[in-house]
Amino acid sequence: MNKKIIITILVIIIIAIASIFLLGNRGPLTKTDNIPARNDTVINSYSISDIALHDKATDCWMAIDGKVIDPTVFIAAGLHPNDNIVDGCGKDATAMFTQVDKHDGGKAKTALKQYEIGVLK
């Protein structure tokens, strides 16, 4: 009889220790547990052949000064003063862009930054 009581107590103690150990290892149960940390240092880089795949007004990427720009929405919204911008789609348009004096102003610089999606490989 005594033996049975001792064994039962031992089993209860083992179960208690095991559950404390298992629950303790689960860590904090917050909703953000499985969301990976944001890494703002990752910069997308694209080759000129990646850019060449986006050579039309409705899907337009271009390289300017080593940056890759996706002005598709800018074009669709009619924000560029003319259609010349489409000539740069799918290319390294640095020369075409810098030739235009108006691009030296704040408006063009701000727009470039806004539509930047990465750097040229």
* Residue 60 beta carbon to ligand HEM: minimum distance, rounded to whole angstroms: 9
Are 49 and 121 in contact by the 8 Å Cβ rule? The answer is: no
C-alpha atoms less than 13 angstroms from C-alpha of 111 in its C-beta half-sphere: 21
DSSP 41-77: T---EE-HHHHHT-EETTEE-EEETTEEE--HHHHHT
To ligand HEM, the closest distance from the beta carbon of 57 in angstroms equals: 12
Q: Of 54 and 80, which CB lies nearer to ligand HEM in the complex structure?
A: 80
Residues 41-70 that bind ligand HEM (CB under 6 A): 69
Distance CA 79, CA 7 (A): 81
Choose the binding region for ligand HEM from 10-18, 34-42, 50-58, 107-115 (rule: CB under 6 A): 107-115
User: Under the rule (CB under 6 A), what is the footprint of ligand HEM?
Assistant: 69, 71, 74, 80-82, 84-85, 87-88, 93, 96-97, 100, 102-103, 105, 107-108, 111-112, 115
